[in-house]
Structure 1
């Protein structure tokens, strides 16, 4: 890490430096071809394979179980750095880390004994929770049905982020009228993954459609929908904050590189070179400050989620419940602010550059498109209302968000 890069926030724990040193060479390798992947729509199978081989997916698993033992703030710090290299990759891994947290929260259980070794071996999990068709709000059209010693899964899911790159898929479905969650092999008979995500940002995350056609599921891999980590809602949104913060950092980096390399200046500029133009330098400084603030808020927010985890594994259920509310409110408070900081950074950077910065080869527009797409998840307009309702009336935030038809 250069001195310039070191000016960005990072977890202050002693172990973070060692974790970052392990993965930064891979992050740099991922960043090298990020623009080409964006321009030619090359799905990041290789970058994800590099991370998988290096044990990135086992970051949160305790050392005693074969993992790397990272805390949640340390994980978010690495996700910010990875997102600065290619935010598509971080988003594609979001469901995996959420699934890992669910297994960790299960304590010393059969589920933990079954899944942690798979994660340590490198297996990754994708998502198949949301539906975009005709499900009624609060329910799923995807169903599980018993057939002898196994279950059969049928239905269509959208926003199945990461499934294209995954070994397993985390799904939600109805079984005998009750919502269940579980894991199914991504290559099982009857599982079809489609690369049909058409958003203008985060184009390479594999967030399209996954279809289950009577696909086999082992009963031991199905569990109650609420038998997951207490802090799952906060955690998933925290990953969005880390990804946004990394995009802001990438925007600041690319702007700095563009200004440092420019050899043309305006006759009506404030200096003979762009590199010494105080107005241009002010824009560079402003964008870096926005990116700094976004990361600082994200890392601070991650500590509230870590507190829930610590209390949960410590057997302090009542305290963990109270901390869960604080964790979710912390994320809800942070999201609108971080989103606005990063959206401003990714738009403002063009003020320091000329029209040449809009050429497709620079791909500078990807930062705003990616940030805008991430900021559209779980609409920001609801977050401030939830925070205000908690502050004034003590109303706890919703524990899980769903989308569906109401008529």
Structure 2
């Protein structure tokens, strides 16, 4: 066994084949969105930020790059680095430093694959000069944006809309790939249709997501949102295909990520299952140290809890979001059955898909009937 193989064996159990690293550059954020889901174990995001101020240090960045070099799957087609926060671009200099060190590791032969970079950003602090740097890298951005000015500023703070619109135009002009994630807040259902139309008319790829800070949806909410989505996706079928591909694609094991191929690293260098789970499973110096404690979680094992067996959408959600269950129940053995926003979002997409398919089939049959009637000979 090579020295690199021995290092990897020391840091990771054999089941891991990492090709994606989600790196928290900072917990800090310049906005205070009303539905911020970066709240862990019931803690308010402001309290969390007070506890963990600041961006990743230069020393820690070096250690993270070493960890990536030592643990990445040599058989992967490419490596993917996801910069996360807080607002990741508040730590722009740290992002540049990490990319430079990854490129040096590639030049040294310690990282053997092509590397792509992506992030989720509120897009309010990014400057033109910074965009020009991103233009030179394999970088893409998921922009958090909620639609019309009134909706966006109400959710994210006054003036947010104008900044995001301006910076999306700059990204588009520089041909930096980006798409939009529009969060649907239950408090704004009445304006949902107008917001969907507005974002769609911008002409960029986008998909919507339900406010995941709400743990349950009332039946009236489901029916109301579903009717609006049916109208929208019938009117704009191209977006329907884009959204469904994200929600209803076949999932062999997990709801959101494959935990054996993706891992999260926080600013302190601690390892986590994903950004939503406030449970440390190791660190970048010692590797995954709690595998024996977590390998039987449904998220890892792929074995459903009995209570999920008859669920309408289990084959799509695979038990829901581990982070939400952990936050809500403080364990992984409580009721999984449609008790998280992600489970309900999958249910919403399932109902939406079924309704649209039925409507399309009905329209097709009606067209065929009309065609046949046109060919009936008159006597």
Under a length normalisation based on structure 1, what TM-score does the superposition of the two structures give?
Answer: 0.27
Under a length normalisation based on structure 2, what TM-score does the superposition of the two structures give?
Answer: 0.29
Higher gyration radius (CA): 2
